Structure 1
Amino acid sequence: MTSTHTTEVSTRRQTYTVPTHMNEPDKLLFGLTARQLLVLITGASVTYAIWLQVLTWAMAWGGELLWSRGLALLVVLPLILVTLAFTFLQIADRSLELWVVVWMRARLAPVTYVWRSAKWDEAEQRRLRARKRAHTRQEEHSQSEHEQEGWS
């Protein structure tokens, strides 16, 4: 007696998860990226250090505690705003520090402005074309002389 054993091939679809946010930076803490966290911590540290300095100076000058705190707040308020701008502000999907680097490179790069009249440009173009034609004729003449002498 022979028995037939049939193997049933099951075709199961395998599903894969395709990452869709490959160009997005990872969020580390409180929904902030590593760059944002670093800028925020650095700005907060510098702001706090300046706050303490101004508070110490104002107290040394004989100011009251409330007046000294008010002065210190006025001094560090622009730093707080700059820190928040550098942390969260993006223009055209680029961070603010990138725009500062671009601006600095543009300001530091040497720039030369040359004024030329439209008539000068036309005359210069004619001279350049004439030089090019003369150079081409000279090459053709040189090549024909070489062919006549037996050069190939």
Structure 2
Amino acid sequence: MTSTHTTEVSTRRQSYTVPTHMNEPDKLLFGLTARQLLVLITGASVTYAIWLQVLTWTMAWERGLLWSRGLALLVVLPLILVTLAFTFLQIADRSLELWVVIWMRARFAPVTYVWRSAEWDEAEQRRLRTQNSAHTREGQREHEQEGWS
């Protein structure tokens, strides 16, 4: 009786749930990720502070309330659009702030131009080829000694 029970247990298959969302960021609030939520809150805070500042300045100039609100809207509208772009826009599955960092690195990184003669370049290429082939042979010997095939 115990041998049949052991056989039944060993032949029964176990199923496991494989997570398929490992590369997906967690959604925190209203379907927004933590990054999106942070960018949206920061942009909204800065936009609101500038809105209040522009309203204060235009009211000090003794303009009407409608004129003041219209001018404030014109000032903060680009900020609203930039905030929404940084929150939701992705190019090639990368966020917009990452593209800005990449652009800044490329733009402000020092560029060095090196002149080399054609003869030097050919000799350097030959030297690199022989060095790489020697390195490859050495790596193959190490793998063979470790039991790699």
1:79 maps to 79
Paired residue total: 120
Residue type of the alignment partner of 2:69: R
Residue type of the alignment partner of 1:74: L
Considering only CA atoms, is the larger Rg found in Structure 1 or Structure 2? Answer: 1
CA distance in 1, matches of 2:109, 2:89: 26
CA distance in 2, matches of 1:84, 1:52: 20
TM-score, reference length from structure 2: 0.73
1:62 maps to 62
* 1:15-73 deviation per Cα after TM superposition (whole angstroms, max 9, x unaligned): 21110010100000000000000000000000000000001101111111111000000
CA-based RMSD: 2.0
CA distance in 2, matches of 1:125, 1:84: 50
Offset at residue 90 of structure 1 (A): 0.6
TM-score, reference length from structure 1: 0.72
CA distance in 2, matches of 1:125, 1:51: 60
CA distance in 1, matches of 2:102, 2:85: 17
1:37 maps to 37
CA distance in 2, matches of 1:125, 1:58: 66
Task: Provide runs of 4+ in structure 1 moved above 6 Å.
Answer: none
2:110 maps to 110
2:89 maps to 89
CA distance in 2, matches of 1:42, 1:83: 8
Distance 1:63 1:124, change over 3 A: same
1:3 maps to none
CA distance in 2, matches of 1:110, 1:125: 23
CA distance in 2, matches of 1:74, 1:82: 14
Offset at residue 106 of structure 1 (A): 1.1
- Secondary structure in structure 1 of the residue aligned to 2:80: helix
Offset at residue 81 of structure 1 (A): 0.4
- Structure with greater helix share of residues: 2
Distance 1:125 1:76, change over 3 A: closer
Residue segments in structure 1 that go unaligned for 5+ positions in a row? 1-5, 133-152
2:24 maps to 24
CA distance in 2, matches of 1:48, 1:13: 59
Structure 2 counterparts to residues 123-142 of structure 1, below 5 A: 123-125=119-121, 128=123
- Secondary structure in structure 1 of the residue aligned to 2:28: strand
Residue segments in structure 2 that go unaligned for 5+ positions in a row? 128-149
CA distance in 2, matches of 1:99, 1:114: 28
